[in-house]
Amino acid sequence: MRRQRLIAALIAGRKANHLTQAQVAAEMNVSQSVAAEIESSKADVRYSTLDRYAEAVTKHKKRLDLTPAWFRLRRVRPAGRSRLD
């Protein structure tokens, strides 16, 4: 499940940066069909391959925000206040 969310974030990043699968594949030095296979989530892709994909998608482009949603939504207490205030 975690890998599928990561792949979905990578696809969103590719689209946000207006890149095609072929462009990402060329940056990774693989064929377009390999990029399509990675995005399909059907293949058992290694994290090192996903890392290469992420690098290709974000190279000189927008950065991906892979921070878990639960972390981004946490409230920050003002300094000096305890939990019991």
Whether the pTM exceeds 0.85: the reply is no
**Dihedral of alpha carbons 27, 31, 4, 13, sign:** positive
pLDDT, one tens digit per residue, over 16-39 is 888 999 999 999 999 999 999 999
DSSP per position, 8-75? HHHHHHHHHTT--HHHHHHHHTS-HHHHHHHHHS-S---HHHHHHHHHHHHTTSPPP--S-HHHHTPP
In the prediction, which pLDDT does 48 show? 86
Domains and CATH numbers, the chain: 2-72 (1.10.260)
In the prediction, which pLDDT does 22 show? 94
pLDDT, one tens digit per residue, over 39-79 is 997 778 888 888 899 888 887 665 555 555 544 445 555 55
